[in-house]
Structure 1
């Protein structure tokens, strides 16, 4: 496969899952065409051509020489193996296993409660006033919001214990595990949850490192911000 062949990403720049993919592309120094599928207009749920690419009506989708792949975590693993450039998967077996552990933690224990907190904050006012609002879950009630805040705090405690003794989640190298967490944390901070990120010295120092990377400075964008 030619790494210089054309790639398309069907997604939206402000989407957390699209940002994972765009960050990997930036880390690899590879450009791909971003074809906007605007979730605020409900295009992911209603456009027949997009539903043909992603039968569950979500974003992003990768197209690579006619090969279609959806689910952001699958896409970033594929791109890391597909493209030249610095690897984002450790070569060491145990660090690679830890990377996979942290990707699973993000999916199972982190992004869900973080989204609950985000949905209660000001950023999501743009979502609720959009035509696509009917496709988004409602803001959490107070009981769920408080539970989600506790769950997020607990996840950060576990992260902080790890990051107090090593620079990145999987060990000594920046990896896909770090990338999968970054968009959610960016939105959490923009939604008033910065105190949760700053509470632990390990997490705070890690966030300063990873959010300062050129790839994230290029990609990181919160809905409604210029």
Structure 2
């Protein structure tokens, strides 16, 4: 069993150089986890500490690594360097381990292709997955799918999204970014013939959308239909054929399905049913 933050013990393996703080159903952590699984031989260099939901609200030791109390977080053992934000952690991992012989190559070959990947990643990070403000009630766009309107066991008061206007606007943003992505990505992967950082960035977030957009907002089965988003559906299908993508999907999907059974998303569904004048369904 992977240790939780509270159960973490010192590592006696001198090969371990880094500690990665993960949360199974965090899409931003999952992109780092996916990179590590693709580079499977790095398990002797990077120790993963799998957190649970209570570790996030508790703060405690997590705040000592990331003062924002968010995952992913990362510590370089020898220097004591503390990193957070998935883009930064992945940049470090690429610089440190990505160039090793026989390592899978996720960085594209030409300046143009690298810039294209960076564009896809940047759109995701700014417009979908990052709040860009740590103050109460500011949230990322993706939070419209699951952050409660009032405090619950899942959503502390500072993270609630009480205003249906804001929620509906964020949902529209998701739809517009998916439309942009549909006409922008290449094939079979987002940047072309091989997996890149664009794929490992968008895929975990798309698993959230796969589960929550139909369940909470009554959308058609996004990424499993070929009329509205055929290119994205083919891309998603291609990714899930890869064992590492499939395992990360299972990590996130299984948690969300259990949370659905536990009533985790009932509050947001209630907002939808109580505000029929807003547009919630886009496909």
Fold match (TM-score > 0.5): yes
The count of aligned residue pairs is 214
Q: Structure 1 residue 73: deviation in Å?
A: 1.0
- The answer to whether the Cα contact below 8 Å between 2:189 and 2:238 also exists between their aligned partners in 1 is no
Pairing 1:96-175 to 2, within 5 Å after superposition: 96-111=114-129, 112-119=140-147, 128-130=152-154, 133-134=155-156, 137-139=159-161, 141-163=163-185, 165-175=186-196
Change (3 A) 1:34 1:153: same
- The answer to whether the Cα contact below 8 Å between 2:211 and 2:256 also exists between their aligned partners in 1 is no
> Out of 178, 196, 209, which is 2:238 matched to?
209
Q: Which deviates further from its counterpart, 4-13 or 203-212?
A: 4-13
The whole-number CA distance in structure 2 between the counterparts of 1:187 and 1:201 is 18
Pair member with larger Rg: 2
Q: Structure 1 residue 217: deviation in Å?
A: 1.9
Q: Structure 1 residue 97: deviation in Å?
A: 0.6
Change (3 A) 1:64 1:95: same
C-alpha RMSD of matched pairs (Å): 2.6
Change (3 A) 1:128 1:8: same
Would you say 1:8 and 2:19 are equivalent positions?
A: yes
Specify which structure has the higher proportion of helix: 1
Q: Which has the higher contact order (CA 8 A, sep 6+)?
A: 1
> Out of 200, 212, 219, which is 2:229 matched to?
200
Would you say 1:184 and 2:205 are equivalent positions?
A: yes
Q: Structure 1 residue 8: deviation in Å?
A: 1.9
The whole-number CA distance in structure 1 between the counterparts of 2:74 and 2:143 is 24
The whole-number CA distance in structure 2 between the counterparts of 1:215 and 1:86 is 13
Residue 95 of structure 1 is matched in structure 2 by 113
Change (3 A) 1:117 1:91: same
Residue 71 of structure 2 is matched in structure 1 by 59
Tell me the TM-score normalized by structure 2.
0.67
The whole-number CA distance in structure 2 between the counterparts of 1:169 and 1:21 is 18
2:189 partner SS: coil
Residue 104 of structure 2 is matched in structure 1 by 86
Tell me the TM-score normalized by structure 1.
0.82
Structure 2 residue ranges without an equivalent (≥5): 1-14, 130-139, 259-283
Please list every run of at least 4 consecutive aligned residues from structure 1 whose deviation after the TM superposition is greater than 6 angstroms: none
